[in-house]
Structure 1
Amino acid sequence: MLISGGNIVSAEAAWDHVTMANRELAFKAGDVIKVLDASNKDWWWGQIDDEEGWFPASFVRLWVNQEDGVEEGTSEVQNGHLDPTSDCLCIGRTLQNRDQMRANVINEIMSTERHYIKHLKDICEGYLKQCRKRRDMFSDEQLKVIFGNIEDIYRFQMGFVRDLEKQYNNEEPHLSEIGPCFLEHQDGFWIYSEYCNNHLDACMELSKLMKDGRYQHFFEACRLLQQMIDIAIDGFLLTPVQKICKYPLQLAELLKYTAQDHSDYRYVAAALAVMRNVTQQINERKRRLENIDKIAQWQASVLDWEGDDILDRSSELIYTGEMQWIYQPYGRNQQRVFFLFDHQLVLCKKVKISFYVITVMCIVCICIYIYVCSLMLPSMAVCFHRITAK
């Protein structure tokens, strides 16, 4: 099924998606993706140019108004709490008054902040507090992995919202000056970096626990006791990741409808630059950690690996493809698949059971390093064979 009335819709990537799987769609933050199939709430099928593949739904934000290209988060859409055609964030084109438009954006920001605080409270009091009472089910280490620094985020957001409320003009919202609040709290937003970097581990730990029916019943009981909406715990834990990505979108929309002579204009412009930098840096750190994890998993799947670990020299896969390996002095050709990392090249041969075997380890000069990088189109196969550059 498609997302909206049988029509293809667009989404913007909030995070980089780095993958070696041949049926997954790789992209970088900011890329525009055509969503072709959203029948699965976790994995969608999409297209960028001529490439199609699966990608995590949580890595993108839907454009709510497909004609105007106004974006909104995916969590409500995935869970049935928001009609993709609604005007939750977008400002109706029929509104002609700039002040009214700005008031709408301000009201939306305040509404989402209050709603977000409730989500954080539900996580901390509804889940984490109850988990700590069950030492027979959860260790301190498990809780740290699952919930990360969610309590620090909750405390920070409460202070941030208090200051927003002070600057909010309830009678004339368009006169509100909320830009300075973002600037005053800009250092505090960096706590999201730890949470976002830990989120993948949290999902993996939850996935393992959910295989046991006791944990399924426990988390559901926590949700009902706290009178939380019908979203699984992993959906609640995704909220902070989506929230930090949403701030630049909201501030960009606010700046769009703020007159240059408005007292809040220069503060909103500065806040937008700050929050874009925060999200970009968090995204880059998250991408690097995910790359390292994927490389470690990749090496673990290689048969007969010898020598130093890939991660001792490299942290990023640059290029992958097929090549002809010519053995001297006989000039015999052999088909190999190569993986070009920063500082080393790995060559592999495929075996029938879909593993790869390291065939050669040697030193390569920088000219070969550059030449191999310009070889044929990448193949999404997985293979191994090693060359290092000093």
Structure 2
Amino acid sequence: MYSPTIEGRGRGRGRGTGRGAPPRGKRGARGTPPGRHSSYTPSNRGGTALRGRPGFNDDTQAGTQGRPLPTVGRGSLSSSSPVRPNSASIPRPQVNIPQNGARTLPKFGEVNHSNPDEPTPPPRSPRVSPRISNLPKLPYRAPDPNAAPTGGATPAPPAGGEPAKEVDPEKEKRRAELRHKCLEEIYQTEKDYIDDLETLINVFIFPMRAMAILDDKSLYNVFSNVEVLINCNKEMLTQLENTIQTTNAGDDVTIGDVFTQLADYFKMYKVFCANQQTSLTTVELLIKKHPQFKKKLEVCHTDARCRGLFLQSFLIKPIQRVCKYPLLLRELIRYTPEDHPDWEPLQSAFSKINSVVADINEAQRQAEGLQRILDLQKMIDGVESLVAPGRNYVKEGELSFYKSQKSKSPEKRHVFFFTDLIVLTNRKGEKKFEHKLSVDLDSCKLVVLADSSHIKNAFELQTGNKSKKCILCGESAEQSNQWIKEIRGLIKSYQKKKLREIEEARKKGLTPL
């Protein structure tokens, strides 16, 4: 990345910003006044700025490159020729133009005024397209230890007249650098993510729709509402650019309100995430049974915009992205002081986004559970309908089954646990089961049995129907205890839910089912 130099004008006074005037003497080799912090410029290559940091996972797919952030700052830069003093005119910021013709906006902190008593007003960064432009990087300004806190208020001395605790300038500078990197990570990865969504739409969806390779239902089963999601993320990227470009110091950038305002729109990810398993399963099925789809998919994969990634890799990116927002915000909060104007907005944003992600995870879990119920309905011979309102799949496993405490030898049972039902089956093959017994949890009670000479680590499921009593045990005491804990939790949750429904029905004057 082209980095401009600053030409000095001999000795001069400070800018009056609270930093103090620079000491008189010779300027550095590149024209930087002695004693002044050099600007921090993150690298423009190699992907995200926080790779390797805790909470910031590297992109799991190859080919992602870092993209620069919008410049925020003010001041003037000179070209390679010296500045001509002219006290009669207002100094204007100048921009270096490299040989390749690219323009580099001035960076915050790199300022040289003709008249130090008349600071040059900060130039506004041009409004640029969020999708096409290659924006300059967000500048970094080291915090001034002599300046007021970021929030703008001067700290009052603590009770008792003791002086306020001094801030270590080096630690504060390091904190601001890390916060700057967090901002860069959020912005760059958002641009990368939108690029991935555009690749998914332009390389896969549009051609397949135009060639009528898939009907509308199959297209939705594969791609869900991704064309809706991209509009939400483009809006967020635009707002991030706006807040960055209108802030005149890197450490003062505030983005908490952006996430807070758009948090509700991210609920649209619930639809996509709930369809995730259906999407991936449909792709595998189409590859096996739809030659035209398979052939077109191979052509799409050769497109340079795919960067060697397959369709399935792009289909999991929305879930990866939405689940990463809480991690990104948590890391930004970590390096944001409590007197910073973005502290409270970030706290609110983190709470809202975290709640949305929790809802998305629950919706995805329920969708996967429903799909599992539909699959089991086909796999278990002789079972009544497993699909019921409010029923969700929980887990399954192998347990030993005794008809009574007098039984000498156990039988193996593959047991399926649902939120309101336990189904015992006999395995007939890899994906085939025979129904043996169903136990409703609304009237179920779990009793731990004492060890006998031939039955150990056992527990009994008791119902009002004696014919549905059964004794189960795991392979070890530890395994049995785990099953007991989970089954008791299921029974308690379901029975509390039923009581709540009955109470609500009574309040409404209805007769509960």
| 2:307 aligned partner | 229
Counterpart code for 1:215: F
Aligned-pair CA distance for 1:275: 1.0
Aligned-pair CA distance for 1:237: 1.7
Counterpart code for 2:60: S
Name which of 178, 197, 210 aligns with 1:101. Answer: 178
Name which of 250, 255, 273 aligns with 2:328. Answer: 250
Answer yes or no: is the 8 Å Cα contact 1:345–1:369 preserved in 2.
no
Name which of 219, 222, 243 aligns with 1:146. Answer: 222
Aligned-pair CA distance for 1:178: 0.6
Structure 2 Cα separation of the partners of residues 352 and 202 of structure 1: 27
Answer yes or no: is the 8 Å Cα contact 1:103–1:173 preserved in 2.
yes
Name which of 193, 208, 211 aligns with 1:134. Answer: 211
Aligned-pair CA distance for 1:259: 0.8
Superposed counterparts of 1:33-182, under 5 Å: 65=52, 69-72=54-57, 75-76=60-61, 79=62, 97-135=174-212, 137-169=213-245, 172-182=249-259
Structure 1 Cα separation of the partners of residues 430 and 299 of structure 2: 45
| 1:288 aligned partner | 366
Q: Which one has the bigger helix percentage?
A: 1
Structure 2 Cα separation of the partners of residues 280 and 204 of structure 1: 24
Decide which moves more: 200-209 or 259-268. 200-209
Aligned pairs, number: 303
| 2:287 aligned partner | 210
Answer yes or no: is the 8 Å Cα contact 1:336–1:349 preserved in 2.
yes
User: In the alignment, is residue 264 of structure 1 matched against residue 264 of structure 2?
Assistant: no
Structure 2 Cα separation of the partners of residues 346 and 369 of structure 1: 18
SS of the counterpart of 2:285? helix
Answer yes or no: is the 8 Å Cα contact 1:325–1:336 preserved in 2.
no
| 1:35 aligned partner | none
Aligned-pair CA distance for 1:197: 0.9
Structure 1 residues 348 and 168 mapped into 2: Cα distance closer, same or farther (>3 Å)? same
Name which of 344, 357, 375 aligns with 1:297. Answer: 375
Structure 1 Cα separation of the partners of residues 178 and 430 of structure 2: 61
Q: Which one has the bigger strand percentage?
A: 1
Aligned-pair CA distance for 1:265: 0.8
Structure 1 residues 194 and 369 mapped into 2: Cα distance closer, same or farther (>3 Å)? farther
Structure 1 residues 275 and 105 mapped into 2: Cα distance closer, same or farther (>3 Å)? same
SS of the counterpart of 1:168? helix
Answer yes or no: is the 8 Å Cα contact 1:295–1:311 preserved in 2.
no
| 2:276 aligned partner | 199
Superposed counterparts of 1:261-340, under 5 Å: 261-303=339-381, 305-309=382-386, 311=388, 314-317=391-394, 320-326=397-403, 334-337=410-413, 338-340=415-417
Structure 1 residues 344 and 161 mapped into 2: Cα distance closer, same or farther (>3 Å)? same
Structure 2 Cα separation of the partners of residues 236 and 363 of structure 1: 42
Aligned-pair CA distance for 1:255: 0.3
| 2:30 aligned partner | none
State the Cα deviation string for residues 121-152 of structure 1 (Å, max 9, x = none). 222222211111111x2111111111111111
Structure 1 residues 242 and 340 mapped into 2: Cα distance closer, same or farther (>3 Å)? closer
Aligned-pair CA distance for 1:277: 0.8
- Identity over the aligned pairs, expressed in percent? 21
TM-score normalised over the length of structure 2: 0.52
Gaps of 5+ in 1: 1-62, 83-93, 381-388
SS of the counterpart of 2:205? helix
Structure 1 residues 262 and 327 mapped into 2: Cα distance closer, same or farther (>3 Å)? closer
Answer yes or no: is the 8 Å Cα contact 1:255–1:269 preserved in 2.
yes
Q: Which has the larger radius of gyration?
A: 2
Structure 1 residues 74 and 106 mapped into 2: Cα distance closer, same or farther (>3 Å)? closer
TM-score normalised over the length of structure 1: 0.67
Structure 2 Cα separation of the partners of residues 230 and 362 of structure 1: 50
SS of the counterpart of 1:357? strand
SS of the counterpart of 1:75? coil
Answer yes or no: is the 8 Å Cα contact 2:377–2:385 preserved in 1.
no
Structure 1 residues 156 and 352 mapped into 2: Cα distance closer, same or farther (>3 Å)? closer
Query: Which ranges of 4 or more aligned residues in structure 1 deviate by more than 6 Å?
Result: none
Structure 1 residues 325 and 296 mapped into 2: Cα distance closer, same or farther (>3 Å)? farther
Counterpart code for 2:354: R
Aligned-pair CA distance for 1:117: 1.6
Answer yes or no: is the 8 Å Cα contact 1:126–1:226 preserved in 2.
no
